[in-house]
Structures are given as C-alpha cells and as structure tokens.
Structure 1
Amino acid sequence: MAGVVKCLVVNELPLRGDRETFDSEEDCIAAGLFAKLFKYTKEKDKYLADTASHIPQNAKYTSKSIQNEVIEILASMVLKKIQQKYDTADSAAFCLKSDGTRDRCNIENLSILIRFVCNGVPEEHLIGLLELQQLNAEYITTEILQHLSETGFSADNILSVLFRGGVQAILQQRLGRHIPYIHCYNHQLHLSVIHTIQSEPCAKRFFDLSGSLYSFFRHHFVCQRHSCPYLKRLLEICWTSHYEVTKCVLEIKEVIFDILSKVSNDDNASVDLAKEASGLLSQLKR
C-alpha cells in the first residue's frame, strides 16, 4: 500500500477520486488513482491479494487521513536519509536556501533547502515545505529557525543564505553574527526585467492590462455566454511569464476584441461588467 502511495506522490498525481469503491464498472471509472492502482497491484501480486482478503474489511486505506499519514511517514524517511548523508558531509557548515510561492488555494508555501558538500560534491536537499500564516519577515525567520531545530539542523552551522533580504537581516540579529547573502542569478535577471518594464510606461500599461484581461475572461457571465480564449496569467516571480503573456495576447487578439465588443453591448450583462468590457476594449485598441 505504501508503495502505491509513493508511486503516486513521486509523480505528483492525485490519490482520490469521486468514489473509492468498486461495486460496479461506473464506480471503477469514478474511483481515484490510489484505488485503481491498488486493485491492479493485487491482480498482479497473489500474495498481496491473499493478504488483503484476510485483513478487516474496514482497512481499505482510502481514508484521506490514513493516506496523509502514510505520506508523512514516507517524508520522514526521506528526511532521515538526508540527515544521515549530512552527518557524513565534509563540513557541518551548510547554505540555507528558502523561497515562497502561493498555491492554487492562495496559501503561501515556504520551501526550505540546505546545501552542503559531501565527498567534495555539493548536494542540495529540500527539508521542508511550510504553510505560512503570516508574511512578515519576523514570522518567516521564526518559522525557518524552528523547522531547522525540529529537523536536527543547527542554525549555528549556517554558512550563507539565499533568500529575501529582510529575513536575512533578522536572521543575523537572532544569531548575533554576519552571514553572507548570496543573490540568486536568475532572480537578478528577473529583477532587471521587471525594473526595465516598470520604467517604460507603454510596457507597464500593457502588462497591467493583461492582468485585467485574465481576470475578465474568468468571470462567470463571460465564460457562460462565450467560448473564452485561454489567457496566460502574469507571474511576477517568473520573468519568462512576460514573454508568454505577450505571445498569447498577440496570437488571439482578434478573439479578445470580438468578445469584449459583444459583452460591452450585451443587454444581459451587468452595467459594471459592460463598462469593464468597454474600458478594456478601449485600452487594448490603444
């Protein structure tokens, strides 16, 4: 069972579906990947099938609580191997790397990585992914230090850091020493692109407009009455996103013009939505 969970998690696949039973062919189609793969594995492994037939019938392992517990156990096993490798490192010193991003539920996730040298070769390992309740530097610093302590890595061994400057300054205060800050080269390029765009009024207006277009075409009324084009979302944390957004808008601009024109003249649309469509149309033509 743990092997099935591991296979799905490593490949970033969902475990659950609409149903988790196999009373009918319809149930099988609607079942999640865990149930399907577990059923397939039993068909190929007679020993597993025999074992499954003798365990209590309520032990189906389809509960989200049980599956999450298995995932946490697997994660702890991975972390233990990382700790064992770190114990054999050439030096106890490590570089601390951290970065945050929002998931589709609009929850800020903070990744924590360590980089150390083992047998002359630098290795980098993810040791945590935290859900943040606050976004201020003091709170983030506390969460990072607490996670390091819980996972068995001493903050006294931090050689350098790679993350936001505000957190770095507070971390130095907490530890009472200077810690070199390494700026990510990709992030430097990203900041250069963003700074250039913000200093050019025409480019800034276009990308502000692209964000408004993305929101407009996700409106329920617009989606229900029109075959809405797929628009790229502008991701400020990824500089290539600006290119992708521009390319997408240029390729489907005629479709965008057509739908904006129809919505702005649609008597069934709300006044606010019609005004928004008219304003976007006017700005886009400019």
Structure 2
Amino acid sequence: MDIRNFFVKKSRLEDSNNSHVTIPKSNDHQAGDDNVQIASTSSNYKNQNTPAPSDLVGMGKLIKQVELKTYPKQANGRSFHSDWYKKFKWLEYSVQSDAAFCYACRQFQPFANKEKTYTETGYRNWKNALDSKNGFPKHENTEVHITSMKMWKEKLARQNTGISVSTLVNHNILEKHRYYIKSIAEIIQFLAINELALRGAYEAEEHAERSLFSNLFKFTLKKDTLLSECAQHIPKNANYTSPAIQNEIIEILSDMVRESVVADIRNADVPWFTLMEDGTRDKNNRENISIAIRYVKNGKVFEELDAKNFTDLTLDIMEKNNLDTSRLLSQCYDGASVMSGKRGGVAALIQKKLKRNVPYVHCANHRLHLVVIKMVSDVAKIKHFFDQCILLHTFFQHGKVAAIYEGKSIVRVLDQRWSGHLAIVNVISSNFKEILKTLDAIIKSDKFTGEDVAKCIGLKSVMLGIEFRFSLMLMRNIL
C-alpha cells in the first residue's frame, strides 16, 4: 500500500473540487480590503468541527438565513427578527437553540475567538442585539470577525474566477509542500507497521521524552536533501508534526487498510464470512474491542481486525463498509456472558437484529487460553516464575541498566494477552547469558546504588535456580 499515491490522489481531488459558497455584499468595514493574502485561507475549515447546533449549515455550505413568521419569545417578550439579516449579512439563526450565530466566524475561524458566543453557544440577548456595546455591532467590529469576513470574500473571489488555492501558489513550492507532508505520513506509517509508539520513551534522568517520531523525522531530514530543502520553506507555525496531525494521518492510514480489507472480502473465493469479536482492558482500564472478519481468498483463510464497539457498532461497521450481512455465516467469540449469552450476549443480539440464525462457536484459542490461565493460577511455582519475569522486565527498563544491556529488550507482560507471556519467555531464554552478564557487571560496578546491586544479586540467584530454569523451558514448550 503506497501512501504517497494516496496523498497525491487526495490532493488532486481537493484541488479540482471547488464548492460554491456565496457571500452577500456587506459594508466596507465588514468585507475588508480586496488585497487579501492567500495565507489567510490556509485554515482547513472542512476538518474543523464546532459543537454548534445541528440545524446550522455545515462547513463549506451556503449560508442559510432562516425566516419564520413568528420567532419564539423569551420571558421578557423579546424575540429574534428577520429584519436583522438586511443589516448583518453574516447573521444566521438556529431554530434548534433559538440563538444567533456568525456564519463567517463559524466557517473560517471557529477556534480563533476566545468568546464562543457566535460560534458555539449562540447569542440570545435579543433586547441588546443592536446595542453597540453588547450586541451584533460589537461582534462585527472585532478583529476575528473582520478577518473571517476577508477570508469569506477572498474565497468567493477565487470561486467566481474558477481558481483554486493550488493554482495561486507556485507549482514548485506546492510540490515541495506535498513531498514534505507525504514524508511525514511515511514516517508514521513505518512506526505503525512496526508497532512502535510515536511518543517513544521518557528518560527520567534527563527529564526528557525521546520521541521516536521526532527522532526519526530528524534522521530523515539528514538523509533526504530534498526533504531538508522543503522543511526550510515550511512556515514555523505549520510544521505538521503536532499530535493532532499525527492522529489524523493514523486515521487516514486506518481508512486505507479498512478499504483494502473490504475489497479483499468482496473479491473472496466465496461470498460468505465469519464474524469474530473480543474485548479486553488495557493497563489504563480502557476497554478495547476487536472485530475480526474471517474469509477465504485464493484458497487461503484470512482474518482481518478492526477496533470498534459491540453489537450495534459491529453491524454498523459492516453496513458502512458495504458488507452484506445476509452473507454472515457464523460468529466466533470468547465464552464471556457479554459475548456468548443466550439472551443478552452479542451473539444473540446479532441474531435478533438480523432476524435469522447465525451459529455461535466458542473460540478454540480462547478455550486453550482458559486452560493456560487455570494451570498458572493453580501451580504456585509457575505463578512465581512469571512474577520473577516481570521483575526482570521492570529492572531492565531503567536507563542505566538498558545502556549496558546488549541483548533483546525484555517485553512487558499483560495478563490479558498470553502472547506477551510467550514473548517474554522467548526473550529471556534466548538472551539468558546476556542478562546474567549485565547483572554481573552491575554487581561489580561502583556506578550503581546498593539497592540496585542487591536486586541484581537476588535476580541472578533466582535465574540460576533450578526452578526458574525448569519453568522457563516448560513454559516455552507449552506456550
């Protein structure tokens, strides 16, 4: 999957898609000067989502000035008047909240105004609506509103002439900016594919966060001369490296993967598929739901995952992705009552929604998982073994210890995921000598505290013990 092609196609589509939004003629102090800088339209108003009433027009839509025969009256007998539209061309009215809003500020600078009355909550002080100190005239003379009106007028001028932003910008500069954005997307794609956190690790001793994303981006700048040249022309206030941009790119990547999966399912060898679903809590006690579609293509069985919610959202996902629920052959979940319950479980609810029988099968892997959990909880020696593995992980995460350790990183263990138990067993088994070597080095070193040395002596003694080594080999074979 080439993310560069995706962004090229997306940017060309946006360049050619000019929506038609009109602006009424307004006073000079509202519309502002005709010589508007192109940078003033750089805010991506299409992606901004203010919590304004739902009956107001969406981003990029024509202004809609609602005219009613009678408007709701407040306790003081005052109400909104449609005559105000003639004087204030930017004014719009929400029937849902019985409040007035500013179309220009909502469309172009919804987050620039600290006072959210005209973009989010709405103005309802009808008695003072025409007052120069408290009403519409006061808002009309604010810097944010004047700038918004300029942006609105400039947008209209571009649309009337059929000129897009991309054609107003030098073609070479535009290509450099696109290359810059694509490079950022590729870095995020690399980290996502390799299951690496963008944030990285926090260095307690230096009180600094070593962000993998920023470090990899800096490294790429050194290696890629074209990217380095592009970065020199990027405005300092628009580096496109913020967490919000990173999350947006991750969401785009998610959409690309989902589209690819759906395409594969539609082109499968047979039109039938199986639904599998499971949920677990992470270390922050947040529920993570996994929905899997199992299908056959080119004679091979595939399983594709997508994190969402239960039941209604499950069917909603399939509907949004145009997956025919009539082709749902069976369901596969764990044995928890919330999933397999005969009346209130996901399996039963899906059958009720679809109004037909969709057989439920208890996940074979989960049944094996339950056997492993039972064994570990009943055998004290095995439970102690994994507790000792966790101690090794915690100790080797310290910066000073990790700096002298030459083996593979000892992974974290989560009770909900036994693949993590297998991973830590494999790491300790394959790096047994390197771990002992590091412990010996700390014991002999004078750069560590007495507490660290005591921990090393204890961990070394445990690792060399027959019970630890036997448990290590046993669990490696079982898991």
* TM-score bracket relative to the smaller structure: 0.5 to 0.7
Q: Which position in structure 2 is the counterpart of 1:93?
A: 272
Q: Which position in structure 1 is the counterpart of 2:329?
A: 159
Deviation per CA, 1:226-282: give whole Å up to 9, x if none: xxxxxx9783674997xx9xxxxxxx9xx8xxxxxxxxxxxxxxxxxxxxxxxxxxx
Cα distance change on mapping 1:107 and 1:121 into 2, 3 Å: same
Q: Which position in structure 2 is the counterpart of 1:273?
A: none
Cα distance change on mapping 1:85 and 1:189 into 2, 3 Å: closer
Q: Is this contact kept in 2: 1:15–1:33, CA < 8 A?
A: yes
For residues 419 and 263 of structure 2, what CA distance do their matches in structure 1 show?
37
Q: Which position in structure 1 is the counterpart of 2:186?
A: 3
What is the TM-score with the length of structure 1 in the denominator?
A: 0.61
Q: Which position in structure 1 is the counterpart of 2:196?
A: 13
Q: Is this contact kept in 2: 1:190–1:237, CA < 8 A?
A: no
Question: After the TM superposition, which residues 39-78 of structure 1 pair with which residues of structure 2 at under 5 Å, given as runs?
Answer: 39-78=218-257
Question: After the TM superposition, which residues 1-286 of structure 1 pair with which residues of structure 2 at under 5 Å, given as runs?
Answer: 1-16=184-199, 30-126=209-305, 128-130=306-308, 140-163=310-333, 164-166=339-341, 167-192=346-371, 203=378, 235=415, 238=418
Q: Is this contact kept in 1: 2:413–2:420, CA < 8 A?
A: no
For residues 324 and 274 of structure 2, what CA distance do their matches in structure 1 show?
12
The gaps in structure 2 that reach 5 residues or longer are 1-183, 334-338, 392-411, 425-454, 459-479
Matched residue count? 210
Deviation per CA, 1:17-54: give whole Å up to 9, x if none: 699xxxxxx89x74511111111111111111111111
Q: Is this contact kept in 2: 1:86–1:116, CA < 8 A?
A: yes
Q: Is this contact kept in 2: 1:194–1:239, CA < 8 A?
A: no
Cα distance change on mapping 1:179 and 1:71 into 2, 3 Å: same
Equivalent residue letter for 1:178 = N
RMSD over aligned Cα, in angstroms?
3.8
Q: Is this contact kept in 2: 1:190–1:239, CA < 8 A?
A: no
Deviation per CA, 1:38-76: give whole Å up to 9, x if none: 111111111111111112222222211110000000111
**Matched residue of 1:125: which SS?**
strand
**Matched residue of 2:360: which SS?**
coil
Equivalent residue letter for 1:13 = L
Deviation per CA, 1:122-170: give whole Å up to 9, x if none: 22111x212x5xxxxxxx2112112222233232221111013121122
Q: Is this contact kept in 1: 2:414–2:420, CA < 8 A?
A: no
Q: Is this contact kept in 2: 1:91–1:117, CA < 8 A?
A: yes
Q: Is this contact kept in 2: 1:193–1:239, CA < 8 A?
A: no
Deviation per CA, 1:194-235: give whole Å up to 9, x if none: 67889xxxx49x69x98xx99xx9xxxxxxxxxxxxxx9783
| Aligned-residue identity in percent | 39
For residues 47 and 181 of structure 1, what CA distance do their matches in structure 2 show?
55
For residues 224 and 235 of structure 2, what CA distance do their matches in structure 1 show?
19
| Structure number with larger C-alpha Rg | 2
Cα distance change on mapping 1:43 and 1:240 into 2, 3 Å: closer
For residues 231 and 376 of structure 2, what CA distance do their matches in structure 1 show?
60
